[in-house]
């Protein structure tokens, strides 16, 4: 299922998108990682979050959803493999060894380029280890709210207008010591108070509460690597 430009501005059925693209995502993840990836692997969760990121930033004028998603998924999986210290051994497997569609931009030349880039960045192990620590710590925090870090792929806003509204709500929440304290005390998003203070309608806050809670905890805590994925929020704040 390929998205049109207009579809980005609707509330997309992300689960349906995943179902229709699951085989392709798994095949791409397998080629990138150099081994078969299943839905029980951590790499699937990473690829799924990357796919969600691509859907959120999709612009039909810049290419198809899959062409954009393939770049984001490879980048996130490469970062993850680097953090796990597994890339040098696993990326030696040829992409043709895996089941799935082989697109033109997934040629042997690109594979060699990815392998070279990963090798050149092997000195980033300390940063990658920190990323693992941040995810583990955030997983622990979010479990107290009753959901998982990996629920965020489904809970994230897809439409650009909704994404901007969530950004406004997150900035308002983080800027308010009282609202943050209330959220952490009750382990619930203070929807009514946040709606009144931010001007964002309650329907959006209710629908994307997991995303807003997680983003606020990340931006208000010591999570520099995870916070880099939310840079759009600060960009909007700076105009």
pLDDT digits (tens, 9 = 90+) for 192-226: 999 999 999 999 999 999 999 999 999 998 888 88
Which of 127-131, 144-148, 226-230 comes out lowest in average pLDDT? Answer: 127-131
C-alpha distances (whole Å) from 138 to each of 36, 142, 177 are: 28, 6, 20
Confidence (pLDDT) at 16:
79
pLDDT, tens digit, 9 for 90 and up, residues 160-179:
899 899 999 999 999 999 99
The first and second tokens of residue 51, run together, are 């796919």
Domain of residue 36, residue span: 6-120
Is residue 73 within 8 Å of residue 29, measured between CB atoms? yes
Residues 112 and 14 in one domain: yes
- Kindly state whether residues 27 and 100 are assigned to the same domain: yes
pTM here is 0.50
d(CA 86, CA 215): 29
Same domain, 135 and 98: no
Cα(111)–Cα(93) distance, rounded to whole angstroms? Answer: 10
pLDDT score of 203:
95
Number of domains in the chain: 2
DSSP designation for 41: S
Same domain assignment for residues 176 and 213: yes
């Amino acid at each position: 299922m390929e998205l049109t430009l207009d579809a980005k501005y609707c509330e997309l059925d992300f689960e349906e998108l995943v179902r229709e693209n699951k085989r392709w995502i798994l095949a791409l993840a397998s080629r990138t990682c150099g081994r078969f990836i299943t839905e029980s692997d951590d790499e699937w969760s990473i690829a799924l979050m990357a796919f969600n990121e691509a859907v959120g930033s999709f612009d039909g004028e810049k290419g198809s959803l899959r062409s954009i998603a393939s770049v984001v998924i490879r980048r996130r999986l490469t970062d993850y493999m680097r953090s796990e210290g597994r890339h040098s051994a696993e990326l030696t497997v040829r992409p043709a060894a895996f089941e799935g569609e082989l697109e033109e931009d997934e040629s042997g030349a690109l594979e060699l380029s990815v392998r070279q880039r990963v090798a050149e960045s092997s000195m980033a192990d300390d940063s990658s280890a920190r990323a693992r620590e941040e995810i583990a710590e955030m997983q622990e925090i979010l479990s107290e709210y009753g959901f998982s870090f990996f629920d965020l792929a489904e809970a994230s806003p897809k439409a650009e207008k909704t994404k901007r509204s969530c950004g406004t709500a997150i900035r308002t929440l983080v800027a308010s010591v009282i609202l943050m304290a209330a959220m952490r005390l009750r382990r619930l998003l203070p929807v009514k108070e946040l709606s009144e203070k931010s001007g964002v309608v309650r329907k959006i806050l209710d629908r994307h509460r997991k995303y807003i809670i997680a983003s606020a905890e990340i931006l208000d805590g010591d999570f520099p690597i995870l916070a880099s994925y939310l840079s759009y929020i600060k960009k909007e704040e700076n105009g």
